[in-house]
Amino acid sequence: MSAEPAAPSSGAATVAVRADIARARRIVVKVGSSSVSGDAAHQIEPLVDALAGAHARGAEVVLVSSGAIATGMPHLRLDSRPADLATQQAAAAVGQNLLIYRYQQSLRRHAIVAGQVLLTAGDMADATPRSNAQRAMGRLLELGILPIVNENDTVATQEIRFGDNDRLAALVSELVGADVLVLLSDVDALYTRPPHEPGAVRIDDVPHGDDLAGVTFGDAGAAGVGTGGAGTKVAAARYAAAAGTPVLVTSTANVAAALAGAEVGTFFSAAPGA
Ligand code: GLU
């Protein structure tokens, strides 16, 4: 893992257990399309309140938010996620600024300024744009700005088709040297099988090295507006944990509890010494 923290660390903040999240200095929170668009757009306000609470106690907070395509869809008179790439990109171009506007309107209640950061997986893999992004993110955090990251959908052809922001969030966590990554979805935790199926058991903790043998996670988002699912969350959580960042997977409704260190969600411990 080659990431340098984006700015000088503002203090040691090892997150070994959930309760430590309440003291984490640098936090990346990822939210999915189905939590912040359409009928769920009202969740932006409580999400922002939780982020603002962490910001108020001095934490540096980065939000990775999907939802550009889903937010743009009604403006293109689309009832469902478009299948073709060009229309997805058009919807993202329309929806991204509206999404950021909604976040900024909500953050204004807490006197917090948002900074929009659009990245591609290609940027993160290429040393020069990666270091540019790292420097910009570090400066934004030093300035007390709350960066809101999404994929740069109009140029991210592969990502928009096959990618998901869970992976982007893990890469951003590595980029900024986050103390913890919180992956939010519509489900309160990971389960041993789809949670509506009989016999599904909640997974509370994933110690480093536990490969969750025998558990199969689906990839499709239930709401059909995004692309992520439990499988992409597990892959992203493993990546971040191997790079030294512990991960909590829980629901958007639980975000305030998660940031307060409550016993919610599924917690992936980081690799020791990573
Ligand atoms: N960047 C896409 C958006 O904001 C991601 C959607 C997805 O998760 O598939 O709409």
Find all residues with CB under 8 Å of 192, minimum gap 6, and list them: 199, 200, 201, 203, 215
Q: Find, among 241, 178, 172, the residue nearest to 205 by Cα.
A: 241
Which atom of ligand 1 is nearest the CA belonging to 65? 4
**Contact 181 CB / ligand 1 (< 6 Å):** no
Torsion angle, alpha carbons of 222, 225, 226, 229, to 10: 0
**Contact 221 CB / ligand 1 (< 6 Å):** no
Expressed in angstroms and rounded, the spacing between residue 166 Cα and the centre of ligand 1 is: 10
Contact 182, 250 (CB under 8 A): yes
**Integer Cα distance of 73 and 80 in angstroms:** 7
Expressed in angstroms and rounded, the spacing between residue 164 Cα and the centre of ligand 1 is: 6
**Contact 153 CB / ligand 1 (< 6 Å):** yes
Q: What is the pLDDT of residues 156-183, one digit of tens each?
A: 766 555 457 999 999 999 999 999 999 9
In a 3-state reduction of DSSP, which class is residue 189? coil
The whole-chain average pLDDT of the chain stands at: 90
**Contact 92 CB / ligand 1 (< 6 Å):** yes
Expressed in angstroms and rounded, the spacing between residue 264 Cα and the centre of ligand 1 is: 25
Does the predicted model carry a pTM greater than 0.75? yes
pLDDT value at position 7?
46
Q: Give me the architecture of the 18-268 domain, per CATH.
A: 3-Layer(aba) Sandwich (3.40)
- Mutational pocket test of ligand 1: of 30, 31, 33, 119, the residue with most ligand atoms within 8 Å of the beta carbon: 33
Contact 234, 167 (CB under 8 A): no
Mean pLDDT value of segment 253-269: 98
Contact 167, 236 (CB under 8 A): yes
- Mutational pocket test of ligand 1: of 87, 148, 227, 233, the residue with most ligand atoms within 8 Å of the beta carbon: 227
**Integer Cα distance of 157 and 128 in angstroms:** 20
**Contact 64 CB / ligand 1 (< 6 Å):** no
**Integer Cα distance of 178 and 274 in angstroms:** 12
pLDDT value at position 114?
98
Res 100 pLDDT > 60: yes
Q: What is the pLDDT of residues 43-84, one digit of tens each?
A: 999 999 999 999 999 999 999 999 999 999 999 999 999 998
**Contact 246 CB / ligand 1 (< 6 Å):** no
In a 3-state reduction of DSSP, which class is residue 258? helix
**Contact 223 CB / ligand 1 (< 6 Å):** no
Res 235 pLDDT > 70: yes
In a 3-state reduction of DSSP, which class is residue 229? coil
pLDDT value at position 273?
80
